[in-house]
Structure 1
Amino acid sequence: MPFLITYLSCMWVRCVLVSLLGATFLLSFNGYALELDNRTYKTAIEQECHGCHFDNRMKPVGTLPNGSRKWTDQKCVACHTEIDEIAYNYRNKISDPRYVALPVKDKRLESMEKYPLSYLHAPIWPMFEKQTVRVNRKTLVKFLNAPHGTCDGNSCNAPKMMAYTNISEDEVIAINEHLGAIPNESDLEVKGSIKKGEALFKQSCSMCHGNSQLSGYNANAMSLFSADWIHQYANGKAVEGRSMPKLPISRRDAHDLYAYFQHSRSENEEALAKAVSQVSADFEQLPTGSIPPKALNYIWNRLWRDTGCVHCHGIEGRAKEVFNMAGKEHIEQWLSENDPSILYQRLAIREKEKEFGMGATPAGMPATGRPLPKPLIKLLGIWIKSGCPNEKNENICKEKWNHHAQ
């Protein structure tokens, strides 16, 4: 009996709300954290956050004869955690009966030490019993549209959280009435001094937050937090068991820091958008030509699995609804009915997201993974411009592409 792997159907816009909002929001749901497999939740938030942030996220629905556990599609954290356990045992030569039925290559199990799966560190809610709301509506919506990654010096990583692009403040608040507790951006936050905030940051914060290496948050990433949260956290009032030392600041300082963080993010967004705008021009410059048989064989038989695409697009969920990669016939259908240059663009955008350490609009792919190698993206671009030939050299998207090019 095969090992059951179910990836990524958790809708991150709701999941992240749970980890970002404190007790004011969370405790209202404490009595409803029941097993999803036994009942239908009353709210979309409870349904879609369950597998990532609820305290019973590691509860399986069954166990296979070899010890592998069965997970529902919502149990992203649990499924990835079990795979990580098997990978650890494999690397350390520890016998594990689950390994035999695991449909993951040994090479990937080895690489998980350096390149781990996503979702392994999603926090269980409530993060802190005394936590107050950490965000305002503007900062939360910006984060959901374009999550931040991490940066160390001149090198960055793309965000590991899936983006929920084009969601508005009204749509976020409409998810559930309890989200009305999230405050609007205040006038004092709007009027904060960018110049004073930058000076304070460089003087008191940049040692740890100049990049993301020590704290996980640089100036761009700290644009997520409200000025009220910045004030409470810096003064040691909001979180117990924290590692950051207290830094006495005034409320005016917090508003200035808030303004600087928003400015820093805006500058990074503009630079990223400019880089993304070049992707279409890069595609236009690609040549057309005959694709070698070995390359065609790889594209049609291994690409979608080797690059992790099927982990989202091959199982039930919104990714599959947009681009079904469950079989060759589904891939051919998408290529024939859509503009295939989108595939190249989204893959190329992921490299830009890595370069700037934040999400773009439209979001890059793979949504939670590393960018694909540039030569592979280029090959796919040439393949698309050459008509998306199948293994019989029949062009799947040539007519569509020629119409698009005109």
Structure 2
Amino acid sequence: MKTSLFLPKELAALLLALVAVCGPAAAGELGDVLRAALDHPAVGARNRQVEGAQDDLSAATAQYLGRGSLIADRTRYEGQRVVGIYVPGQTAPLYKDDAIIRYGVSYALPVDVFGVIAASREKLKNNLAAAELLARQETLLRLHQAGNAYVRKQALQVQANALRIQRERVEASAERVRKEAELGRAAEIDVRLAQSEVARISADEARLKGILGETRADLIDASGIDPETGSLRIPVPEWNPLDADATLSARLAERRARAAEAGASEVRRNLLPTFSLGADYYNNKGGGGDMDTWSLMGRVSIPLDPGAYLRSSAEGARALAAEDDRRAALRAARHQIAALQSAYDSARADAEALEKEIAYRSEVVEVDQERWRLGAQTLENLLRQRRDLLDAQYRFADARARAAAAWSSAQVLAGTPPDTYIAQWDKP
């Protein structure tokens, strides 16, 4: 289907009128659409995952403080036992009972000699950073979806107006040819030609309506809103140089590689002895009396778990795989930057060339329209010139939309802060 953004005279007047009415609010409306995309549920879900990662890191840090517990138990024995403890030579009464109740508190403090907790915190720090990058990526993807849908919708709306004006002009030409054919001053084939052109434009309008419906659905999915009145221009921000090392995908892969390495280090350190300090206090009741007991301890634990060695090997392999993924992501980022910049430059060049072509073809259509009115041009040639103009205008709109899409994709790749993204695309 070939549609357009501009037609001579009638559409030019329409554009001037609409820009006069809607121009000052254009930037604000696009900004509203983009800001609405920030409230997408998928963005909220990613932000919740960031909160979860922060809590994981806080929990790992809290391990340095140790952990305690309150204890209450009642134990029944087959015979009488000493309540509390027995110390030879003690002067306190000795209580015995076969049912003893204990109340107390116990506390253990780890001594992170080999850095197990430190390695765990390092892993979770990188997991948190990765979660934040994923949240930004999701936000930018929704902004990209909303912005592109907005641009496409505005272009399609103007194309629909262009087709409507073109249909009205062709219908007027068809009516004139029909009347002239009735008077014998025009061939019947010209009547059928004009009617077929009207039918073709009507079919284009029907297809355009379907595409517009899909685009509106995409816009609502991304932002939750579908503004009916908007700017008729397609904003195309200037290209900003990108560094592959600083791209979102490269940073995300780097954080994942660091987290995998820290996880492997944590598992390796768990193979070493662990040290801890402990203390407890109990009140023991039974035999008609009670006794308080307390203790302090230092503990060394040496793991003897063959499975732990296998898990260490597995985590090491995952760390190496994550490093390979990091290098692959960096290479892919370089390729994406080159491809997007090429697409952007190509689209901008196409738009500049097509703008000149539209000016030329507009003049040709006006001249041929007058020649046809005077009988010096055939209807077939006039309709062909109009179709060529429509095609150039459609390709012009498509080129600007492609440039905007390439720029937006580059911002997603770069991990541009959402506020900066909105400000750059929403310039008045």
TM-score normalised over the length of structure 1: 0.25
Give TM-score, length-normalised by structure 2.
0.24
Q: Which has the higher contact order (CA 8 A, sep 6+)?
A: 2
Q: Highest Rg: 1 or 2?
A: 2
Structure with greater proportional helix content: 2
